[in-house]
Structure 1
């Protein structure tokens, strides 16, 4: 299969590879062979030996061999089974409407998929990881698991592959390395040292230096992380000086705890050594940044980590210094820069912080919570603004940190009301598709259970929970929860909230198929004077559009759609307009205006794609293919039917669609099947399903008539051959060669940056390249 945007393999997020990959070809081949024979392969070894890097390399090489792609689960911040489930649900992008247990939702999602699942840092939740993996392997016969852990998982059928250190030259019988070493090409440890030293601006290795480098790498036991930390010091110290300093550090560690394995002491020595070479302010930032779970922004670092001994204005320079020393990793996604600590370095930082002052650790956790609460509430304040998409993407990037901050509220006495402030602020996050309904329900039920004070946050959280219940088709629970919400709002004498609750009742009525009640409640909410200036009115007009359209009230649907667009223009909201476009498309379909259906559904797809609004995408495809079939283009309608299945499959929509959408799909499917005949129908639908996610969306948008289908694969050992570039990909490659960024290319070609990012990833995959520079060089070789 091809690689869509933003390191999405199989339409699932994977992290950027943290460091360069040097000299593990034999290990990669061995792990691939192990995966061909075992359903579960665990890469074990001490921290810093390169387990994650090796797993990512294997996953990269096998990404085209799994029809449904590769999923990566970073478990460094997981604390228990609920947070483990949350990580998995998030990475798989499961947006099902089911109210079942998370484990059942996950296994149902995977049961018919052919995927490689990468569980990283399982040692944090060994028992929980083993239980989930065992369940998945039992229920999903085409899934294989590659795990990394410092200890085995004890899963039935598990194959444990111990990651070896990087090879270094052997000394002679007297323990000396020959001066005439052939250089790094034959020894991965030396190659890694040379590469990282050069990247850090250190000394270029001369022929006589290799014996000293070999001695140092052997002292470091061939541990990749330790070698990288040493290599960046060549800006100040020669290899022989590094050896002397390291031996001094290792000796002090050895006398402190001789029971620790030598390799672990080597890594700890390298980390302590790097720590001592940092300035006092850099050390403070290192240990304080260990509070973050996953990537964090410069703004987050300044807010959470500054304070005594660390002025906020110095954080930028200190972050740069830690990056230069390979102690922080720089990442970029959709134009946003973030930073990440390798887990081994974060663990060291947390230990240092705890040893220095237990109270300081608690204070830092509280500051972390305060920052992410502020972030959630700021996002809520921008729910209907022109900055809506920016905030949506930001919250999705901060998912792991939001989880940690929320769990802090639940586990810390006296913080229960703050948990409700989180759940009051995050409905938009779950609603848009960046989060999951199952996660939102778990958060809301937990927060409401620990605090019963009659507050605004409780009212909002009850309303949010009622909405999630309705989306999960649990209508009785939704109605009961909303009654409690309404009673509390009246107790607090909040007429605006009362109007919003009436608007939510309209949404619930539409979810259960009662269009007349939905219209009545929407009009009642809109008649409230308190609601007149509320930007949330766009939701009520959107509900009116859909309700009237479903009842065949064309003129009323058009008027409501016009009002929804006006409200959206006033506030800057674009997300809810995608649903208004769905309603307008329904209205146009009912009167046979098929060209208008295509216009409105394409606009819905364009907007919903940016927000990952998966249910809006599903509805838009249903309308588009129904209209296309009604016009008599049954082949394209069948391709769209398969493409819709791909979108729902790739984005994790489980369960049946809403009644109106299901009825529309059933009717269109029956007609297309009857017109094409069974054999052609099945083949054409399969053609649509074979597209990857971006290809399916581009096909619906008319960006490309027939995007290249995903690779057909039979087993994890088969690799699909790279295909030629499509005309659009050749166009993008030419602009990459001119040095344009994705944003510039998007502007020139009138595409979204995400679509361009997907095309660039396709190009890299098809041509077997790893950088944009390679694309530029290839473009020149082609005579372009």
Structure 2
């Protein structure tokens, strides 16, 4: 085993390079040690060598060492500095209203946090990634960075770790024992082949196969991706046949370029052969799927990749075939099965697509499909499918962003860009990627200045985002232009929509009389007053009346918002309507009502991922608990709120919220005493996101008068599906929804759904009941 070789250039800011030939377990230990010494470690190596897998295992091993978490940031779809910043903001869940440049927003977010950032696939934006890393290192002293790239980044003080292939044995490997002897554990390459072969064909290699498997793994240079692709072929070829076929293929792959490393040729051969073993339809779908930015669903594959040469009704079976061949990776995301091409295979597919002359056509088809879906969403957003569309926006955001980028960078696509960006407002309104939303809207508006309805809607969206971020001058300018276009179009509904955003702007400016005046103007339009869009305006009206002390009027407006929700089916705008009602009830002195409405606000905000609504609701709860004299619980919720804001990337409080927060903290400190207050805040801050929300909802423990043995305590395990029993066991181990999601490789919201189903089926009311029941069932 070779000892790691270190070449130190640290004093000059040049990279420190580490190379090793140890196995994966030793590599994890070595990279962890490097991260303890260096603030930037870059894992380099060719595609398919396992950089991402190694980085993920290192990050998992270190997750407890970073108080504010380990964050995975996939940069495979980022080709510009703008896209890089957007990917980082999205991954860190930064919800910013400051109006600052994206890079400054990232630095402000990280400046006081202790985190490990895993930047994956930096090779196509090396200079931009290095620039951002250098700024992070200077501004955020407690941040460490683990990057993967096919080449070094040349970041200041960078430690470069060249990821080695898996260890392989000599060709004359001897394995004693039974016929079905397992793979020798000292050779990770053989273990990986055995695992993948068993998954593909249902059987591991026999004892006499191991020498041939060893030759094959050596022929594949120990590259994990190449080994996995070869192992899938054991369904139709023996290891010996695989060795001969790879030898024939590599012999035919001569190249006049003597600088091409052998391992590049090896991986190319493995991918090329996998491609040729696919059916013609599978090859088409493989290459066309490379147009997607990250994951995609069945409907997207059917809409974008099908055609006369690829029947739509056959796409599902073709997807299944590519999953069986390990070309596509199936992943669950927000309750829906998605598919993803590994980065190296996506690049190969893109190369095939380009060679076929279809790259431009598929990019246009991709844009067309996502524009069509966005326009469909706009017509259905206010209806009963609103929550499904909200999840679709979150699930497909990377592809939607790619479609917008296509529009703003392609001549003649300005109107499509305006329609797409305007349609994404619900996603940005919830607090997610607001800074990026403003950037895309400004670019789309600059790309096309025709006075169309699409432009008016985009101007309205820009004004709304700027208003919520307290950037008033750009909001007012956008609204002025919106009115000009609306009058040009002679569109009273568009004028009413603009008045609605003016009311929203006035709320943020605390000009409540203007809120009511603009609302009256908007509701003068019959089409607006009788339609579902008025729900947005009613939320502003409720808050204005509550702040003015018009409590009866606030209650009436809230009841109207509820009727609107029932009539049309949408619930997203009830977040702020409920917050306004809670403010009114607080003013009227009914603190139990405040708690009731604030909790309902939290439930809906969680469903729609409305982080700003969550933060506001927590503050309303704390105020009412203080007024009720429940100081200990109020202090805990103050700490829990801080955790929620940190984990979701909620930006700094507004001036008004900051004053309320400080006053509550001072009052609680005076009531409880300094040490008990700090202890209670610390208890709340120690909760993870799910537990903090449960604590706010009052459902984190056993309810009074009901024990864990109550209800259907003796319910049969058969009531639950296998996945629900699995989730119940993890709940019994004390894992949060987020940790269960990580262990099962599913989304936290999917876990939440499983927990809800378990509670319903077993007749329980808390996670404690599930834990007790699971313990009786043997875990």
Whether TM-score is above 0.5 comes out as: yes
Question: Following TM superposition, by how much is the alpha carbon of 1:680 offset from its aligned partner in structure 2, in angstroms?
Answer: 2.2
Q: Taking CA–CA contacts closer than 8 Å with sequence separation of 6 or more, which of the two structures ends up with the larger relative contact order?
A: 1
CA distance in 2, matches of 1:745, 1:384: 36
Measure, in 1, the Cα distance between the counterparts of 2:238 and 2:329: 24
> Within the alignment, does 1:629 sit opposite 2:626 as a pair?
yes
2:539 is matched with: 542
**1:382 counterpart residue number:** 380
Distance 1:492 1:742, change over 3 A: farther
The CA deviation string for residues 438-473 of structure 1, in whole angstroms up to 9 with x for no partner, is 011100110111110010000001111111111121
- Looking at structure 2, the residues matched to 160 and 678 of structure 1 have their Cα atoms a distance apart, in angstroms, of 47
Maintained 8 Å contact 1:119/1:145: yes
Q: The residue matched to 2:442 in structure 1 has which SS?
A: helix
Kindly indicate whether residue 447 of structure 2 is the aligned counterpart of residue 431 of structure 1.
no
Alignment partner of 1:200: what SS?
helix
Contact 1:383 1:573 in 2 (8 A): yes
Alignment pair present for 1:760 and 2:758: no
Partner Cα separation in structure 1 for residue 720 and residue 264 of structure 2: 44
Q: What SS class does the counterpart of residue 352 from structure 2 fall into?
A: helix
Gaps of 5+ in 1: 1-21, 708-725, 766-770
Give the drift of 1:363: 0.5
Report what 1:504 is aligned to. 501
Classify the secondary structure of the residue corresponding to 2:573: helix
User: 673, 678, 685: which one pairs with 1:677?
Assistant: 673
Whether the aligned pair in 1 keeps the contact of 2:334 and 2:391 (CA below 8 Å) is: no
Pairing 1:2-401 to 2, within 5 Å after superposition? 24-171=24-171, 176-178=172-174, 180=176, 183-201=183-201, 203-255=203-255, 257-357=257-357, 360-401=358-399
CA shift for structure 1 position 323: 0.5
**Residues 592-671 of structure 1 correspond to what in structure 2 (within 5 A)?**
592-657=589-654, 659=656, 661-671=657-667
Alignment-derived partner of residue 15 in structure 1: none
What is the alpha-carbon distance in structure 2 between the residues aligned to residue 277 and residue 763 of structure 1? 33
Shift in alpha-carbon separation, 1:654–1:736, aligned structure 2, 3 A:
farther
CA distance in 1, matches of 2:740, 2:50: 28
Give yes or no for contact 2:579–2:598 (8 Å, CA) kept in 1. Answer: yes
Hey, what does 1:480 align to over in structure 2? 477
- Assess if the C-alpha contact under 8 Å between 2:430 and 2:612 holds in 1: no
Deviations 1:353-398 (A, max 9, x none): 11222xx210011001111112222222222122111111111111
- Aligned equivalents of 1:734, 1:438: Cα separation in 2: 50
- Choose which of 696, 702, 708 in structure 1 pairs with 2:692: 696
Distance 2:383 2:30 in 1: 52
Structure-1 separation of matches of 2:345 and 2:713 = 39
Q: Which residue of 2 aligns with 1:414?
A: 412
Per the TM alignment, residue 205 of structure 1 is displaced from its structure 2 partner at its CA by 1.1
The Cα of 1:764 is off from its aligned counterpart by 8.0
Q: Structure 2 vs 1, CA of residues 349 and 733 (structure 1 numbering), >3 Å: closer, same or farther?
A: farther
**Residue 656 of structure 1: CA displacement?**
2.4
Q: CA deviation at 1:431?
A: 0.6
1:531 equivalent to 2:528? Answer yes
Alignment size in residue pairs: 722
Contact in 2 for aligned 1:733/1:763 (Cα 8 Å) = no
- 8 Å CA contact retained: 2:195, 2:204: no
**In 2, Cα distance between equivalents of 1:464 and 1:125:** 31
Say whether the 8 Å CA contact 2:170–2:215 is kept in structure 1: no
Tell me if the contact between 2:691 and 2:736 (Cα under 8 Å) persists in the aligned partners. Answer: no
Please state if 1:573 is matched with 2:570: yes
Q: Provide the rounded CA distance (Å) in 1 between the counterparts of 2:523 and 2:722.
A: 45
**1:169-212 deviation digits (Å, cap 9, x = unpaired):** 124xxxx4446597332211111101001101254311100000
Task: Provide the C-alpha distance between the structure 1 equivalents of 2:250 and 2:716, rounded to a whole number of angstroms.
Answer: 52
**What is the CA distance between 1:44 and its match in structure 2?**
0.5
Q: What is the CA–CA distance in structure 2 between the aligned matches of 1:37 and 1:594, rounded to whole Å?
A: 53
Q: Distance in 2 between matches of 1:757 and 1:337?
A: 19
Could you say what secondary structure the match of 1:620 adopts?
A: helix
Q: How much has 1:745 moved relative to structure 2?
A: 10
Q: What is the TM-score when the length of structure 1 is the normalising length?
A: 0.88
Q: Corresponding residue for 1:713?
A: none
CA distance in 2, matches of 1:313, 1:782: 44
2: CA distance, partners of 1:607 / 1:81: 35
SS of the equivalent of 1:222 reads coil
Tell me the alpha carbon deviations over residues 87-126 of structure 1, each in whole angstroms, 9 at most, x when there is no partner: 0000111111111111100000000111110000000111
Question: What's 2:446 paired with?
Answer: 449
For 1:459, the equivalent position in structure 2 comes to 456
Return closer, same or farther for 1:781/1:552 CA change in 2, 3 Å cut-off: closer
> How many Å separate the matches in 2 of 1:734 and 1:693?
30
What RMSD in Å do the two structures reach over aligned CA positions?
2.8
**Residue range with higher mean Cα deviation, 344-353 or 731-740:** 731-740
Q: 1:692-716: per-residue Cα shift (whole Å, max 9, x none)?
A: 1111111000111599xxxxxxxxx
- Asked if 1 retains the 8 angstrom alpha-carbon contact of 2:220 and 2:226, the reply is yes
Q: Judge conservation of contact 1:732–1:759 (CA < 8 Å) in 2.
A: no
Tell me how far apart the structure 2 counterparts of residues 450 and 333 of structure 1 sit (CA, whole Å): 33
Indicate conservation of the 8 Å contact 1:203/1:234, yes or no. no
Q: Provide the rounded CA distance (Å) in 1 between the counterparts of 2:149 and 2:716.
A: 42
| Structure 1 residues 301-331: Cα deviation after superposition (integer angstroms, max 9, x where no partner) | 1111111421111111110000000000000
User: Residue 13 of structure 2 corresponds to which residue in structure 1?
Assistant: none
Quote the Cα distance in structure 2 between the aligned partners of 1:283 and 1:742. 33
